[in-house]
Structure 1
Amino acid sequence: MNTNVIKIHKNECIGCQVESALSFRPLVEYLKDRLKTEKSVKSEFYRFLLEKIEKDEVLLNSIDAEELSKYKDTLELIFTILTPLMGDEDDLFWALSTPIPDQIFFSTNAFYKFFKDHDPKNKVNKDSEPVEKKQLKFIYNIILNRFYNFTYVLKNEIIYAHVNEETKLTQYYNIQTDTKFVDIKHKGKLPELNFEALAQYFQEDKELEYLLDNLPLKDFKFDGFSIISITDVTLQHSIDGIRDALVNHNYQTEAYTHVIQALKSLSGDGSLEFGLMPFLTVNNKLVFDNKEFSQSMLINSAKAANLEEEVFYSLVDKYKENPKAIFVSAINDDQITKDPFLRVLKEAGVCSYSVLPVYYNNQLAGVLEVYSNHEVQVDDKLLSRLRPAMPLIGQLFQYSIEEFDAKMDEVLMDKFTALQPSVQWKFNEAVWHFLQSQNSNSKVKEIETVTFKHMYPLFGAVDIRNSTTERNIALKDDLNVLLNHLIDALKAMKKTVKLDLIDKLLFNCKDWIKQIGSFASSNEENQLREFLELEVYPFLSIIKGNHPETAEIVDQYFEVVVPATGAAYANRRQLEISMQLINTEVSQYLEKSQANLQASYPCYFAKFRTDGVEYDIYIGQEIAPEKPFDLLYLKNIRLWQLTSMVEIARLSKSLIGEMPRKLETTQLIFIHSNAIDISFRNDERRFDVEGAYNIRYEVVKKRIDKVLIKGTTERLTQPHKISMVYFNPDEAKEYMEYIKYMQVQGYLNDDLEQLDLDELQGVSGLKALRVGVKYLDAKKDTTKKLKPTELKSIEKEIAKMLQN
């Protein structure tokens, strides 16, 4: 143990900020209180220490830190009481300091060496905040906690990052200050604080201004000593660093660089390097890209050695058939004969090379490379340090695979997807004008914006009712199945394997079953996944290897968690099948139906897949300049829109018998009678509205799907109904004529509702029509039979309406 006094803040007057005294009075009071209740053998130890402190009267009063070196044996007794009995002072970072940490007067050898060895110039997280300000926050944190039960200013801990001079790796330490043995006295009446005002100051980082004015430090006195402890948190900080890389960076080079650096810190070996190789596929064949989506030593070496791609791909394909960990501590000629790919690594200067398979949802997502330019033995200690990072690397690989696939789709859409014939002519003109400008001296370098003016918009949405709720239910049902199968497997193992850890896992499983019902976010689901992948699956693999009699039990469980076929994914598979069935049938119906519309007058039809299907239709003179436009075509397409919604409602209802999970749809139309301008946005490859007024149309479209009927909690959109949202009463009048016609024709029920709707953000004055869909009876025709005179009258009425 060390009694040398260490000045923490050499040039700052920390003690000037508040009156304080170093003493052992709080410890004495603590020991006396413990002796009143402590009945075990500890009481003798407490009594012995108390007598020793009281014997040295100077320790009962305020004392200078420099004087305490005379009482080393008493300080060692205090150390013994305040630290775990088995703690080794050569490994424990522990010290005693003045009440406001300024001088350390007693420390373990490990702490003293840590303080002396860590040169401030190697500190990583240099903080520009003045030391005095940090110390004031520390002081007020203790005061607010003691006197006002308020903790918000600052935790009594600091994360300290330091570059190790030997390994050149960053190490992270958590420095904590325990003020249990610090008494605080206040002179006079304690002031009242306005915590609402204080909270505002906190938000502006000006809380010290308020506190110094309203809670002066001159009225406080600190008495006692503080305990400082340091913990190496490099492992946890490295894992957190990988998580941050997934969240805060793109999933390409930047994230890979951060993850590799975190893995090096995690390993604790500065000579190790890491490579990341996700398995990317094109047409189900592996491809490799080391520029954006991976950083692999093997790929780099193969390219540098001009290794033929076919040879390289065959090696990786062979590995993919039987993925396993490969450890080569030193590459030699015999190993190169067995595995030719080692030759290119040796030529690149690699001496040691290991490969670890990385999984995502039990599917092989890629490999993690561990290599060095000198001989390295990858042992259990290193693997145990890397194991917590493997699920996160699997997630990174999955993101890279999805990002790669999205980029493929983006280029595919950009270069190969054909435009609709109704608007392609205008894009052709824009391209021709652009090419002309390129061949001339024109300064125009950007292609012109394709715009259609004075277009009449129509919007429709077929939504799957309560899709989010259904997804949550399916997920929770599947997790229940998974955990119950796991419980059964663990119970079966327990009959032959005698391990207390099985009981602990059983407890965890039952606890997770209780928690599943209250899942509020994806975070809990991620925590459950980490429990399974970090604790359960490694445990099952080890038990299977060491106890062959459990192999069948383990294999049966892993069959349950296969996404494509396992029972633990059955509910989600059923839901996706049902949703896909609805969306596919609705999409196909719309595609066929809108093709007939184009025959009457060209229009732009854009369909979007959400949880259901949405579509935009634009019609107007500029779509077909050579063909005169008349409002008759607009009225015809509006009547088609209403009719098609009936057919879609009937179609989705007829599919219920084919769905593994019963789902219903809602049908919504937004009526907008004013013409708008639309332009093709080159950056997003879609049409969008032009002008501030027209943007209101887009705003309403995006918000009406969840609108409520005014004064109620009822959603406007309901199964078996068609909802039509509008602003203008004239719009409603036109559609009411269509509804009347379709009721007579047997499409709609005689239950039309005229409704006022709740205000949406930035949108007020919305109204709606809602009417029920009449379904066909398979046994009898429910269509009303009209007399010839009635039918003729209705036909004349519709014809007249279309002409107007």
Structure 2
Amino acid sequence: MDINDNIESPLNLQVSFNKLLEHYETLAKSDEAFIVAKANRILETAEHYPELREGFSDVSILKTRAKEISIILQDSFSSILTKNEIKTASVPFHNLIFNASERFRNIIKTAGDDFELDIKNMPKDDTYIIACTIILNFCYGYNLNFKRPFYYEIPDANGVLHYYKILYNADFTEIVPTKNAPKITQKDYDELLDNFENIELWKEKFPPNSYIFKGFVISNIFDVTDDQSISNIKSSLISKGKRKDESFIESFHEVFRSLLGINDIKVGFSIFNKEENTFEHVYGAGMNSFLLGDLESASCGDSLCSWSYNRLLKENKYFSVSDVDKTFKKAKGRAPHITSLHKQGVKSAIFAPIANDDGLMGVIEIVSNKPQVLNSINANKLVDVMPFIVSAVERSKNEEANLIEAIIQKECTSIHPSVHWQFEKEAKNFIKAEMNGKQAIFSKIAFENIYPLYGQIDIKGSSEARNNATRLDLTLQLNAVKNIFEKVSEIESLPIYEQFVYQIDDYLEGLNTHFQVDSEQQISEFIKQDIEPVLKHIYAIDDLKVHIDAYFDSIDDKVDVLYNHRRDYDNTIAMINKEMASLLDKKQVEAQQMYPHYFERFKTDGVEHNMYIGESITKEDSFNPIYLYNLRLWQLQVMCEMENTYYQMQSEFPVALDVASMILVFNQPLSISFRMDEKQFDVDGTYNARYEIVKKRVDKAYIKGTNTRVTDKGKITIVYSQKQDEREYLRYIKFLQSKNYLDTDVEIVELQDLQAVTGLKAIRVSVLYHKNEEDKAFYTYDDLMKEIKA
């Protein structure tokens, strides 16, 4: 077997002791007779076997010349130090070790027969390029420092992982270019400096086997388990998001096992809640608390005895329990933490406070199921890692506080980016006042002279659809119950069963003729109070069991009623809202790029949206009415697109519902301010309140002199009050007709007066639909329905 087999490298590896023998040639000229004699003996040994100097790659020579190689290396591998030093002789980028100290051999032997020695942080993909950088140093004198600390990870007899740092001595190596080696110029070097990952470029400059490596390297190896364990703990704690990964806590156990040199340990955490004086579980995959056991949280007084309470919370000092069973008997139930450990099978433990200048933040718990392996002596090893744990917990607490605030902001009091600058400005003023010892007041957030835009895509007949779904579910449920009582009457003829059937028929007739709001509650109470107790009673009759089981299986566990058609309805509403809101949000990103403006949307039975645009929101001297007109046109176009998108996916919804779209035009600028109590923007002033009144009522308004709602399926309704708004929107409609968004059936109608609001008019125009995004044809609502049903 050849050393170079199955290895692609610019270096052709040859084991050679030439450099070392040259050193002995110098020693042979020494004035010291002992040194001269020893040097001559080594040189004489090598002289009979020229391959030892000339170099070889045949692995078998290492075995046949093992004795001679041992003689040549005897000074490098002192027999006096062989049980203490961890040392090997090998060739680079290869696991081939041909000489080693006794201590190294014992370490490998202890690791087990199936252990494979491997340099853990040697990047295998980069070995070719690393070899090239070595050539640049050896042959061309470029000082490229690629030195990285390399490590072995080797388990001991107990399975505890030890870390060994490798230091290479390359004094006895030489690298010689072959005839096939291109000479590296300064230009080549400059190009390579910026292309470390370009393997093809490196292969071009350093072809495979274009240089000969002659020699060997001596690896001096040191046990750095303590330092590496601390480093690993530090790395684990610094890494973000790892608490969600189950492998994180296991790796954390592993580094503590290495630090303490004990295989049988686990690590737990408890967080200290200062406000409530409780210990709490840490959230995360695999996270345990041996102090709390199965409890999510517990008061500190209930978790510790008075001494341990004082030790952790007051003095912020660690303590150990070397023999839990012995202490458990002695405590006689007076030490809750000992009871908890004993219950979990723990035999020895260390509790260390995670504390800073502000006091206790949590407790780290190290436990073992063997007595005395954890004690007050090895607890001192925690001194080196506790600062990192304290720092990580401090950062974690800050991140958690920020995350909590971010979630509250997002879910409860979301501030739109267009106005965030004003809130940020006031927050800075608030902090500045506090820092200067003044009374800090968060000033009112208000924007004046801004133009509102409002639109909605509303589900038509949602109340009727909900009532119909409820009626169908109740009918199914009553018929199922009726079927059971008709069957039980055949088996056991009791008048009460006939009375139940009569009552059910009465409810069924009521559902078909005059379903009312309270019908659902009446029937549900009847079934719950009168029917279900009897069903449980007659369950003893074998012939009825299958029917009663089928009935109860049809009842939804969460709402405790038959929930088929209502589920379809609720799911449809949720899906409509989700899809429409998602489309609107996506389109809003584009609109914000045209000109920044405030935007908010709400999910009801459909999706509503508010927009405000004006100089005071953008805080720049850039607003022009053209941006308002552009946003109005954008809004009208997006409403058409939302209508199209809805009807293209209508067939995917459990219930086929219709929608109607409306836009409210308000041509006067108004003022809005942020209501701190309601955590939302609202209009300011009595005159502006008229706008809010219209918004709330206009979609239910009727066309004047009729019983027809102003909003209708298949149409966009634009409500306004001023003639100039009418002219403006008729221009937009004409433009969108040319784009085949809208039909030609434009109508202008007057609205019946609303409470405190008169003189409203509306433009109504039909939307043109496409069957899908690729469809170039366009259809009216009626045409589309025919196409869908065809």
TM-score by length of 2: 0.48
Please say which structure displays the higher CA radius of gyration: 2
